[in-house]
Structure 1
Amino acid sequence: MGITARGIGLLAAAVVLLAAGFRFAYPELAVLGAAATVAVGYALLTAAWRPRLTVDRHADPDRVARGEPARMTLTVRNTGRLRAANLVAEDRCGQRSVPVPLLRLRPGRDTAVTYDVPTHRRGVVPVGPLRVTRRDPLGLMALARPYGEPVPVWVHPRVHPLTAIPTGAGRSLDGRVDNVAHGSITFDSLREYVVGDELRRVHWRTSARVGELMVRENVDTSLPTIVVLLDNRAAAHPTVVDGLAESFEAACEAAASVVVAAIRADLPVTLLTVAPEPGDGGPPLDRLAAVRLVDDADGLPAAAARLRRERLGDTLVFLTGPGGRDDLGRLGALRGAYPSVVAAVLAAAEPTPAGTAGMLVIDAPDGAAFAAEWDGIRRW
C-alpha cells in the first residue's frame, strides 16, 4: 500500500483540523477534519480492491539469434463479474517498461498488446510480471500488484556457418568419417577375390550367385567427439565497454558456430565453461545465451585437470580472449589426452606467435572471422 504526497498532506490536515476543532471548540474545523478522514478511508478501500485479471504471454519466437526480431504478445482478461477495471498497468521487458492500456476493461473482456523484445544483446531477457497500479479517484492512494509469471526470451549468440568438421581419431562401429581405405571393422562393399585375401572374408552367398569369389571390403570408421571449452573468466576478457566484453561475445559466437556445425553433422559435442556456473544444464545454445563472465582465477587449472582425467573426446576446441593467451600452454599439455587441440584467441590486438604451445591457434577479431579461419584449416 502506498500513500501519495497528496494523501499524506490530506491525512496530516485531517489530524490537525480534528485536534484544533476539539481543542478550541470549533465544530467547523472538526467537520472538515472528519471529511478529510473519510476521504482518506475511501481512498484506502478503493485502492485495496483487487481486480481479477488473468495474464497470458506468447513470445514469437522465444529463442532467437542476436539481432533477430522477436515479439511479445500480452493478453490481459478481466475475469471479474461485476466491475470494470480502470487501472494503470505496465509490463516489464528487460530493463524497460511497456505501458498497457487497461482503461474501462469490462468484465469478461480482454485487451492485447504486442511489442518488440530487445535482442541487440546476447542473454536471457525476462518479460514480466505485469505491474498493475490501482488508484482512487482523488489520487490519495496507489497500490501496485504483480500479475502473471515472467517469461524468458533466449537471445542466442550469432551462428556463423562452418563447413569444416574435425575428423577425429576414435574408432567406432557407427562412425561417420572414414579415416582409412582398407580396414577390418565395418562392412563397406564387395570386391573380387585377390590372391592373398583371407578366405574367412569371402562372401559365399554372393560368390555362388555371380560365379566367382567375392570378398567383403571393410573400413575403419571414426566418430569425432568434439569438446568446446569456453573461457568465461573475467581476466581472459579484460576490455569491457558499457557492460559488454566484445571478445567474450565473439567467443560465444565461435562456440555456438562449432556446436551447431557438430549437431548438424550428427556428431557428439560437449560444451564446457572454464568457470562452472549454476544451472549448467540445458541445450547448448540456451547455456551460451545465459553464460556470464566470472571472477575465477583458479578455474582453468581445474578445467584442465578434469579434461585430462575424463578424456571427454578426441578434439578439444578452446575459445578465449586476449587475457587468456598466456594460458594456452596449459591447454597444449592436453595433447596426450586429445589428439587434436585447437585454440582460438578472439579480439586480440596482436596475433599469437606461430607455434605457441605446440598446437593450432586461430586469431580472429570476431565470430565471422573465426568461421573463415576455421574453414581454412587444412589439417586437424
Structure 2
Amino acid sequence: MWSKKAAAVAGGAIFLTLAGLIRLNYLFISAGLVMLTFVVLSSFLDVWMPNVKIRRETTSDNIFEDGTMSVKFIVKNTGLGIGFVEIYDSLPPQARIIKGSNYTLLYMKPWQEVSFEYSLKLPLRGHYHLGPVKMRVKDAFDLFYNERIEESVHSFSVFPQIEVLEEQIITSRAPKLLSGAMPLNLIGAGTEFYSLREFVPGDSLRSVNWKALAKKGKMMVNETVREDVMDVILLLDVRE
C-alpha cells in the first residue's frame, strides 16, 4: 500500500516533469524523472520488507482483581528485508496499563530478534482476552507498507480478590430473630429421615426401623438429618 509520503513524492515528481516540459526546463524534467524512478523502484522493493514473526508470553493465565499481568512480545525478522514494524496489541476496555505500552515501533534488520513488554491491571473479575495483534510493516524509506492482523489471542480469567473479614464487619442493623433449628444436610440428631444403616451396639432402640427388620430379617436403624441453629448471610455483588 502507498503511504502519504509516497503519494507526495510521486505527485511532486509528476509536477516537476510536467512543469519542465511546459517550460522546456531540463533541470525540472531530470529531477522529476529521478524522483518518479525512485518511487517506482521502491514500489517493487516492497518484497524486501521484513518478514516478521511474533510470539506473546504472559506471566500467568489467571490473576486476581487488581492483580498485575506482564505481557512480553518477541519479534523476529526471518528474512533479509529491512524496514519498520508497528505492533499494536488489542486490550479489553477495562484494562489499565501501568508499565510500558501495548504499541511499539521497531526498525528491523535481517534476522534480528527484539522484544518489548508491558504490564496491565484489571480491576473487575471476569473472562478477558488479549489480541488480536495489529501489525504494519514498512519499507526502509517509509514509502510503502503492508498491514495484517495476527489472530494471536490469549484468554485469561480475573478472579475476585480474597480478603479475610473480621467477624464484626458483617453485622445486622436489626436484632437477630431466632429462626430455630435448620437442616444441614449432614447426618446427626434431628427429625427428618436421611437413610438406613445396620444396627450397631450402643444404638438406641427408639431409632430401630421395625418395618425394615421384618422385611430384611436384621435390625436396621434410622439416620436423620442434623439440625442446628445457624446464621444465614446473603452478600450481593452490585458492581457493573
TM-score range, shorter chain: 0.5 to 0.7
- Please, which of 115, 118, 135 is the counterpart of residue 118 of structure 2? 115
TM-score (norm 1): 0.43
Structure 2 residue ranges without an equivalent (≥5): 168-180
Residue by residue, what CA displacement relative to the aligned partner does 1:1-56 show, whole Å, maximum 9, x if unpaired?
A: 2412x333322211212222333433332221111112222333344655333322
CA contact (8 A) 1:191 1:214 kept: no
Which has the greater radius of gyration? 2
CA contact (8 A) 1:191 1:216 kept: no
Hey, what's the Cα distance between the residues in 1 that align with 2:49 and 2:210? 87
State the 1:200 CA deviation: 5.5
Query: Residues 124, 142 of structure 1: CA spacing in aligned structure 2 closer, same or farther, 3 A cutoff?
Result: farther
Work out whether residues 65 and 125 of structure 2, in 8 Å CA contact, stay in contact via their aligned partners in 1: yes
Q: Match for residue 26 of structure 2?
A: 27
User: 1:103: Cα distance to partner?
Assistant: 3.5
- Match of 2:19, SS state, is helix
* TM-score, normalization by structure 2: 0.63
Shift of 1:68: 1.2
> Which deviations, in whole Å up to 9, do the C-alpha atoms of 1:153-201 show, x marking residues without a partner?
43333345799xxx997xxxxx953475363525497344655634465
Letter in 2 for 1:40: V
Which residue identity is paired with 1:218? Answer: E
2:200 maps to 1:190: yes
Distance 2:115 2:182 in 1: 53
Q: 1:181 aligns with which of 178, 190, 194?
A: 190
Q: In 2, Cα distance between the equivalents of 1:141 and 1:123?
A: 41
Percent identity at matched positions? Answer: 15
- 1:177 maps to a residue whose letter is L
> Aligned with 1:20: secondary structure?
helix
Question: Is residue 53–residue 78 contact of structure 2 (8 Å, CA) maintained in 1?
Answer: yes
Q: Given the alignment of the two structures, is residue 87 of structure 1 paired with residue 84 of structure 2, yes or no?
A: yes
Tell me, yes or no, if the aligned pair for 1:192 and 1:215 is still in contact at 8 Å.
Answer: no
CA distance in 2, matches of 1:194, 1:135: 88
Amino acid at match of 1:138: F
1:65 Cα deviation from its structure 2 partner: 1.7
Distance in 1 (CA, whole Å) between partners of 2:44 and 2:36 is 12
Query: How far apart are residue 119 of structure 1 and its match?
Result: 1.9
Q: How far is 1:121 from its partner?
A: 4.2
CA contact (8 A) 2:14 2:32 kept: yes
Task: Quote the residue 1:219 is aligned against.
Answer: 224
Indicate the residue corresponding to 1:249 in structure 2. Answer: none
In structure 1, distance between residues paired with 2:63 and 2:133 = 23
More helix as a share of residues = 1
Query: Which residue identity lines up with residue 32 of structure 1 in the other structure?
Result: A
Q: Is the 8 A contact 1:191 1:217 kept in 2?
A: no
1:215 Cα deviation from its structure 2 partner: 4.8
1:10 partnered with 2:13: no
The 5 Å alignment of 1:164-179 reads: 177-178=186-187
RMSD: 4.3
Change (3 A) 1:105 1:37: closer
For 1:168 and 1:146, the matched residues in 2 are separated by 59
Paired residues of 2:49 and 2:138 also in contact (CA < 8 A): no
Find the residue that maps to 1:181 and give its secondary structure: coil
Cα distance between partner residues in 2 of 1:346 and 1:129: 31
Higher strand share: 2
